[in-house]
């Protein structure tokens, strides 16, 4: 399995209010894992885990940003937020707070 | 007995689904030829299109559903798609797949496979994929999924015949996903309890936490299973979604002989339109262009329709009818139709611009650019366009909220929009400021605009505090730029305009007729009419706003129908109007014809004016002679300011109200009207206290 099980164990299902991004970040090796917002311009990485509230995570994954996908930072909006990403040839926009919940490696 | 003559063979039922921006609508148009029929399903506020065409001697009806990334519905449109697929048993589902984006598109395909409907895959936008250096092997996709796969280029109507033929041999996909053991065993226990043809998909959705209504034993079992899975440390949603994504990615990679390169046009255009410094100025110029396009192009047609209305009134006056009947026909009926028609050119040109922006990919870019500003109000970036449009006309602005995804966000914007000072209110502002504040006219008008903007923004902000923020977040796709075909844009614009006329025309007619009754019954002096009595009653309520003259108070009542009417009514009640002059048949025809020519000419002239430098010019007040003098003695300056604030903030017009009803239902429309009245009264009360 490519996607990560342990990072997403939540005490209360369906967990609309959980914030796995924090636990996912804390438990990970800071050498290899980063959040999506930490990518440099044009840098590419592999999505490791998608966190955040359930509905939001579902939407982000539906857009193609699912664990195992390759993602590249394209640009920042003129006002600083949101960010634009390239996910296997498809352009997505995410607010910084949403991107902060996504853990990438590589 | 006509029903017996119907053919015995039942109609074929097709459904088209696919991710947004896959060219699904284009494909449906290409399949159906020109017989497109648009239906608006009331209450749902999203459009479902149905079209019928002949296939091998039978009639096939194709339902075009809103674009969805998955059947896990997070927006109103996605919900409609899911419900339609769960409710009916279509003969074939057309799954429109973007060839250059297989990985994501196949997720939906795999979900469709679990529903168990017969599926045919339209591998669309193949030309775009090739241009990006992507080579595909459709035969492998066909083999992996176990359904017919047809390569199509919908814009050029390529592959349509093959698609319809394939649809006749569509079969349920043979592809079957194996979920991790924990999920599979839970599904195996749940599935037998679900009495629905799509039991496997339903079981998975229920476990993943989708709001699926299940019968009793199954619903209880779902809760038990969820607890059991959680105890084993399994998050069903992530495992189910993860398995599907992995499978979709794996199939996509086996079908693609190479990785897609960048979309050249998109890269080139985004370099300018999303530029760190130039992006925002270019966007603002673009918005201005939309604004000017809508109002410059529609203006000649609004005038022409006004001329037609005058001519019809003149013809009626020329008929040998009793005065009251003629007046009702001319002012009540023709006037009412005129009020409805006056909206249509504005709406049509706006929808034309919006459809173009939507189909080309510009709308998504604008959301990217102003998202940060909208975030401050707790709204997604897409909220910006309806808010700006409100300054031209509130009615299309409310319709434009359709481009947003979350219902609560749409509602908040729609409740804020009516406070934007539309061009109709400007007419009242200019008349009053020219009488009462001749020196500070521009300042007062500017202040009023600002006040409307402020009240609207505070409304959106306050409502955002009351309703929980949209869970789905604001992540969205920035689709590649495409040049939309005129056919698609034109059709969409006319269909949307027609939906509006159908939906609100009746109500506007009734309210215009009601105002006519008030003004004209009992016949005779206006000061003896029902209108005068209602107005005198109103002065009691408006006294605290320093509005004491019944004629001023009364004009607010027809102002509810449309703000333009306020000045006309003031003119009638202060000065008495002359009856409509009768008009000959030929004379009227000539008037309509020359008007049509002038409108066409003015539309042509509007093209260069789009490029001109825009200036904020106050149109000279259009008011009957002598009205200014009469008005200046009937109200104080403080009262006049309060009157202006009231006119700015109370229910803009019956058209806006009807648009709200069409989009959000009667309850929200009524609440919105009441809210506007309360706000208008409160702020006008404060304005009346300003010593001037």
Q: With respect to residue A40, please indicate whether it lies within any of the assigned structural domains.
A: yes
Q: Count the helices and strands in chain A (H runs, E runs).
A: 3, 6
Query: In this structure, are residues B372 and A77 in contact, taking their beta carbons and an 8 Å threshold?
Result: yes
Query: In this structure, are residues B573 and B596 in contact, taking their beta carbons and an 8 Å threshold?
Result: no
Q: Enumerate the β-bridge partners of residue B39.
A: B48
Phi/psi region, residue B33 (left: phi>0; alpha: psi -120 to 50; beta: rest), is left
CB contact under 8 A, A66 and B242: yes
B483 and B355 part of one domain: yes
Q: Cα dist. B11→B8, B27, B53, B544, B650 in Å?
A: 9, 20, 10, 66, 51
CA distance A63 to B459: 31
B418 and B301 part of one domain: yes
Tokens of B120: 């045919």
B474 and B610 part of one domain: yes
Interface of B with A in 493-512 (CB under 8 A): none
Interface of B with A in 237-256 (CB under 8 A): 237-239, 241-242, 245-246, 249
Annotate B298-311 with DSSP letters as a single string. Answer: HHHHHHHHHHHHHH
B381 and B413 part of one domain: yes
When CB atoms are compared, the residue of A77, A88, A90 closest to B369 is A77
Chain A nearest-CA residue for B372:
A81
CB contact under 8 A, A89 and B277: no
Q: Measured on CA atoms in the order B393, B395, B396, B401, is the torsion positive or negative?
A: positive
CA distance B672 to B405: 21
Instruction: Count chain A–chain B contacts defined by CB atoms under 8 A.
Output: 164
- Residue B418, domain extent: 280-688
Interface of A with B in 20-49 (CB under 8 A): none
Chain A nearest-CA residue for B276:
A78
* Under-50 pLDDT residues of chain B: 1-8, 35, 37-45, 615-617
How many residues comprise chain A?
106
Provide the 3-class DSSP secondary structure of residue B18. Answer: strand
Chain B residue numbers with beta carbons less than 8 Å from the beta carbon of A13 are: 209, 226-227, 229-230, 235-236
Q: With respect to residue A78, please indicate whether it lies within any of the assigned structural domains.
A: yes
CA distance A87 to A57: 16
Interface of B with A in 627-686 (CB under 8 A): none
CB contact under 8 A, B474 and A64: no
Provide the 3-class DSSP secondary structure of residue B407. Answer: helix
CA distance B51 to B74: 26
B620 and B674 part of one domain: yes
CB contact under 8 A, B478 and A93: yes
Q: With respect to residue B243, please indicate whether it lies within any of the assigned structural domains.
A: no
Provide the 3-class DSSP secondary structure of residue B278. Answer: coil
B378 and B498 part of one domain: yes
When CB atoms are compared, the residue of A14, A52, A66 closest to B209 is A14
Helix (H) or strand (E) holding A37: none
Query: Please, what's the b/e burial string for B57-80 (b: 16 or more CB within 10 A of its CB; e: otherwise)?
Result: eeebbbbbbbbbbbbbbbbbbbbb
pLDDT in tens, B637-662: 999 999 999 999 998 888 899 889 98
- Residue B477 phi, psi (nearest 5): -85, 145
- Of the candidates B402, B464, B378, B500, the one whose C-alpha atom is nearest the C-alpha of residue A97 is B378
Chain A residue numbers with beta carbons less than 8 Å from the beta carbon of B274 are: 75, 77-78, 84
Q: With respect to residue B255, please indicate whether it lies within any of the assigned structural domains.
A: no
Helix (H) or strand (E) holding A33: strand A33-35
CB contact under 8 A, A67 and B245: yes
Q: Map B526-569 to HEC letters.
A: HHHCHHHHHHHHHHHHHHHHCCCCHHHHHHCCHHHCCCHHHHHH
- Of the candidates B55, B468, B526, the one whose C-alpha atom is nearest the C-alpha of residue A17 is B468
CB contact under 8 A, B237 and A14: yes
Alpha-helical runs (H) found in A1-106: 20-27, 54-62, 96-99
Chain A nearest-CA residue for B105:
A64
Chain B residue numbers with beta carbons less than 8 Å from the beta carbon of A2 are: 242, 246
Decide the pairing of beta strands A33-35 and A44-50. Answer: unpaired
Neighbours of B238 (CB within 10 A): 26
Chain A residue numbers with beta carbons less than 8 Å from the beta carbon of B70 are: 58, 62
Q: With respect to residue B246, please indicate whether it lies within any of the assigned structural domains.
A: no
CA distance B659 to B647: 19
Query: In this structure, are residues B242 and A67 in contact, taking their beta carbons and an 8 Å threshold?
Result: yes
Tell the residue number behind the tokens 């209450």, with chain if given: B43
Q: Enumerate the β-bridge partners of residue A75.
A: A84
Chain B residue numbers with beta carbons less than 8 Å from the beta carbon of A5 are: 233-235, 238-239
- Of the candidates B391, B388, B392, B411, the one whose C-alpha atom is nearest the C-alpha of residue B401 is B411
- Of the candidates B127, B154, B106, B20, the one whose C-alpha atom is nearest the C-alpha of residue B479 is B20
Tokens of B470: 């949209």
Domain count, chain A: 1
Query: In this structure, are residues A74 and A85 in contact, taking their beta carbons and an 8 Å threshold?
Result: yes
**pLDDT-derived band of residue A30, with 50, 70 and 90 as boundaries?**
low
CATH of the domain at A29: 2.30.30.90
CB contact under 8 A, B478 and A91: yes
Establish if A89 touches chain B: CB-CB under 8 angstroms.
Answer: yes
Name B268's Cβ contacts closer than 8 Å, sequence gap at least 6: none
Chain A residue numbers with beta carbons less than 8 Å from the beta carbon of B73 are: none
Q: Measured on CA atoms in the order A64, A65, A67, A73, is the torsion positive or negative?
A: positive
Instruction: Provide the strand spans (E) within B56-141.
Output: 58-64, 92-98, 119-124
CB contact under 8 A, A67 and B242: yes
CA distance B664 to B617: 35
Neighbours of B548 (CB within 10 A): 15
Query: In this structure, are residues B468 and B323 in contact, taking their beta carbons and an 8 Å threshold?
Result: no
Q: With respect to residue A100, please indicate whether it lies within any of the assigned structural domains.
A: yes
CA distance B511 to B354: 30
CB contact under 8 A, A55 and B471: yes
* B473, HSE (Cβ side, Cα atoms, 13 Å): 28
C-alpha distance from A31 to closest chain B C-alpha (Å) = 25
Q: Tell me, what's the pLDDT at B8?
A: 45
User: Which percentage of chain B shows pLDDT scores above 90?
Assistant: 32
Establish if B368 touches chain A: CB-CB under 8 angstroms.
Answer: yes
CB contact under 8 A, B69 and A63: yes
Tell the residue number behind the tokens 């339609």, with chain if given: B84
Q: Enumerate the β-bridge partners of residue B15.
A: B63, B93
Radius of gyration of chain A (CA): 13
Establish if B158 touches chain A: CB-CB under 8 angstroms.
Answer: no
When CB atoms are compared, the residue of B242, B249, B369 closest to A1 is B242
Chain B nearest-CA residue for A56:
B472
Q: Measured on CA atoms in the order B655, B661, B664, B667, is the torsion positive or negative?
A: positive
When CB atoms are compared, the residue of B239, B472, B478 closest to A92 is B478
Give the mean model confidence (pLDDT) for residues A15-35.
55
Chain B nearest-CA residue for A94:
B475
B395 and B511 part of one domain: yes
pLDDT in tens, B324-357: 888 888 877 887 788 778 778 888 888 888 778 8
User: For the ranges A17-26, A34-43, B32-41, B492-501, which has the lowest average pLDDT?
Assistant: A17-26
Q: Measured on CA atoms in the order B229, B231, B232, B237, is the torsion positive or negative?
A: positive
Predicted complex ipTM exceeds 0.90: no
- Residue A97, domain extent: 6-105
Neighbours of A68 (CB within 10 A): 17
Chain A nearest-CA residue for B381:
A82
Q: With respect to residue A14, please indicate whether it lies within any of the assigned structural domains.
A: yes
Tokens of B445: 């008008």
Tokens of A39: 């990518």
Q: Enumerate the β-bridge partners of residue B477.
A: A92
Chain B residue numbers with beta carbons less than 8 Å from the beta carbon of A75 are: 270, 274
Q: Enumerate the β-bridge partners of residue B54.
A: B59
When CB atoms are compared, the residue of B70, B263, B375 closest to A95 is B375
Chain A nearest-CA residue for B71:
A62
C-alpha distance from B452 to closest chain A C-alpha (Å) = 25
Establish whether the linkage from the previous residue to B151 is cis, with ω within 30° of 0: no
Query: In this structure, are residues B116 and B88 in contact, taking their beta carbons and an 8 Å threshold?
Result: no
**pLDDT-derived band of residue A39, with 50, 70 and 90 as boundaries?**
very high
Name A58's Cβ contacts closer than 8 Å, sequence gap at least 6: B70, B72, B74, B237, B241
Q: Is B256 exposed, middle or buried (0-12, 13-18, 19+ CB in 10 A)?
A: buried
Where among B144, B168, B192 does a domain terminate? B168
Annotate B433-446 with DSSP letters as a single string. Answer: HHHH-SSSHHHHHH
Annotate B668-679 with DSSP letters as a single string. Answer: HHHHHHHHHHHH
C-alpha distance from A56 to closest chain B C-alpha (Å) = 4
Provide the 3-class DSSP secondary structure of residue B51. Answer: strand
Q: With respect to residue B566, please indicate whether it lies within any of the assigned structural domains.
A: yes
Query: In this structure, are residues B146 and B173 in contact, taking their beta carbons and an 8 Å threshold?
Result: yes
CB contact under 8 A, A8 and B473: no
Query: In this structure, are residues A75 and A43 in contact, taking their beta carbons and an 8 Å threshold?
Result: no
Chain A residue numbers with beta carbons less than 8 Å from the beta carbon of B180 are: 1
When CB atoms are compared, the residue of A16, A76, A94 closest to B475 is A94
Q: With respect to residue A1, please indicate whether it lies within any of the assigned structural domains.
A: no
CATH of the domain at B90: 3.40.50.300
CB contact under 8 A, A93 and B480: no
CB contact under 8 A, A55 and B234: no
CA distance B559 to B542: 15
**Hey, of A14, A93, A94, A99, which one would you mutate to test binding to chain B, going by the most B CBs within 10 A of its CB?**
A93
B407 and B490 part of one domain: yes
B227 and B344 part of one domain: no
DSSP B332: I
Where among B127, B143, B168 does a domain terminate? B168
Name B89's Cβ contacts closer than 8 Å, sequence gap at least 6: B13, B117, B197
**Hey, of A77, A80, A98, A103, which one would you mutate to test binding to chain B, going by the most B CBs within 10 A of its CB?**
A77
Q: Map B585-641 to HEC letters.
A: HHHHHHHHHHHHHHHHHHHHHHHHHHHCCCCCCCCCCCCCCCHHHHHHCCCCHHHHH
Q: With respect to residue B442, please indicate whether it lies within any of the assigned structural domains.
A: yes
Chain A residue numbers with beta carbons less than 8 Å from the beta carbon of B261 are: 89
Domain count, chain B: 3
CB contact under 8 A, B371 and A77: yes
Q: With respect to residue A51, please indicate whether it lies within any of the assigned structural domains.
A: yes
Neighbours of A67 (CB within 10 A): 24
- Measured at the CA of B520, the angle between CA B516 and CA B523, to 5 degrees, comes to 160
Interface of B with A in 197-236 (CB under 8 A): 209, 226-227, 229-230, 233-236
Q: With respect to residue A98, please indicate whether it lies within any of the assigned structural domains.
A: yes
């Amino acid at each position: 399995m490519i996607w990560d099980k342990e990072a997403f164990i939540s005490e209360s299902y369906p967990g609309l209010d959980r914030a796995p991004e924090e636990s996912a970040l804390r438990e990970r090796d800071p050498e290899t894992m980063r959040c999506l917002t930490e990518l440099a311009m044009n840098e590419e990485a592999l999505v490791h885990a998608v966190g955040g509230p359930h509905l939001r995570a579902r939407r982000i994954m539906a857009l193609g940003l699912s664990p195992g996908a390759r993602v590249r930072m394209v640009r920042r909006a003129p006002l600083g937020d949101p960010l634009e990403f390239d996910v296997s040839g498809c352009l997505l926009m995410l607010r910084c707070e949403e991107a902060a919940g996504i853990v990438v490696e590589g | 007995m006509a029903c017996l003559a119907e053919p015995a063979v039942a109609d074929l039922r097709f459904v088209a689904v696919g991710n947004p921006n896959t060219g699904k609508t284009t494909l449906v148009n290409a399949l159906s030829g020109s017989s497109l029929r648009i239906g608006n399903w009331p209450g749902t506020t999203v459009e479902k299109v149905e079209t019928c065409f002949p296939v091998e001697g039978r009639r096939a009806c194709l339902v075009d559903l809103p674009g969805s990334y998955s059947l896990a519905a997070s927006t109103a449109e996605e919900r409609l798609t899911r419900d339609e697929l769960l409710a009916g048993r279509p003969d074939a589902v057309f799954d429109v797949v973007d060839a250059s984006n297989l990985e994501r598109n196949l997720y939906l395909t795999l979900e469709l496979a679990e529903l168990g409907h017969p599926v045919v895959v339209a591998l669309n936008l193949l030309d775009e994929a090739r241009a990006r250096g992507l080579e595909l092997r459709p035969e492998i996709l066909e083999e992996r999924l176990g359904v017919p796969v047809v390569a199509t280029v919908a814009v050029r109507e390529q592959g349509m015949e093959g698609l319809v033929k394939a649809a006749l041999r569509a079969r349920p996909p043979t592809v079957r996903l194996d979920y991790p053991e924990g999920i599979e065993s839970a599904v195996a226990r749940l599935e037998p309890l679900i009495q629905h043809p799509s039991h496997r998909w339903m079981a998975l959705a229920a476990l993943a936490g989708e709001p699926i209504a299940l019968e009793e034993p199954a619903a209880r079992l779902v809760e038990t299973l969820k607890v059991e899975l959680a105890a084993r440390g399994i998050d069903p949603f992530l495992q189910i979604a993860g398995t599907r994504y992995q499978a979709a990615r794996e199939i996509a990679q086996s079908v693609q002989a190479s990785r897609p390169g960048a979309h050249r046009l998109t890269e080139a255009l985004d370099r300018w339109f999303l530029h760190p410094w130039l992006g925002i100025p270019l966007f603002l110029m673009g918005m201005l262009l939309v604004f000017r396009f809508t109002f410059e192009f529609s203006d000649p047609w609004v005038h022409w329709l006004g001329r037609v209305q005058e001519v019809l009134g003149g013809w009626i006056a020329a008929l040998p009818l009793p005065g009251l009947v003629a007046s009702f026909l001319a002012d009540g009926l023709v006037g009412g139709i005129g009020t409805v028609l006056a909206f249509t050119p504005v709406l049509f040109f706006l929808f034309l611009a919006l459809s173009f922006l939507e189909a080309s990919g510009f709308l998504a870019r604008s959301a990217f650019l102003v998202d940060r500003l909208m975030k401050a109000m707790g709204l997604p970036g897409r909220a910006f366009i309806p808010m700006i449009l409100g300054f031209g006309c509130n009615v299309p602005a409310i319709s434009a909220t359709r481009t947003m995804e979350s219902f609560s966000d749409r509602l908040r914007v729609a409740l804020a929009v009516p406070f934007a000072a539309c061009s109709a209110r400007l007419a009242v502002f200019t008349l009053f400021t020219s009488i009462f504040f001749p020196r500070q006219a521009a300042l007062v008008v500017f202040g009023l605009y600002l006040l409307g903007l402020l009240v609207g923004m505070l409304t959106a902000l306050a409502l955002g505090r009351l309703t929980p923020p949209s869970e789905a977040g604001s992540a969205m796709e920035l689709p590649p730029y495409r040049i939309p075909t005129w056919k698609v844009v034109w059709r969409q614009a006319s269909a949307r305009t027609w939906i509006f006329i159908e939906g609100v025309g009746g109500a506007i007619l009734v309210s215009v007729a009601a105002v006519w009754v008030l003004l004209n019954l009992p016949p005779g002096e206006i000061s003896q009419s029902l209108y005068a009595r209602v107005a005198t009653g109103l002065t009691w309520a408006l006294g605290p706003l320093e509005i004491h003259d019944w004629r001023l108070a009364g004009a607010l009542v027809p102002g509810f129908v449309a703000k333009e009417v306020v000045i006309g009514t003031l003119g009638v009640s202060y000065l008495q109007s002359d009856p409509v002059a009768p008009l000959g048949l030929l004379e009227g025809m000539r008037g309509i014809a020359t008007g049509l020519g002038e409108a066409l000419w003015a539309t042509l002239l509007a093209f260069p004016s789009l490029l001109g430098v825009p200036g904020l010019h106050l149109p000279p007040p259009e008011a009957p002679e002598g009205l200014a003098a009469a008005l200046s003695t009937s109200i104080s300056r403080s009262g006049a300011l309060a009157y202006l604030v009231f006119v700015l903030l109370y229910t803009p017009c019956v058209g806006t109200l009807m648009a709200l009803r069409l989009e959000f239902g009667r309850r929200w429309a009524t609440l919105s009207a009441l809210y506007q009245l309360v706000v208008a009264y409160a702020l006008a009360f404060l304005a009346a206290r300003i010593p001037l």
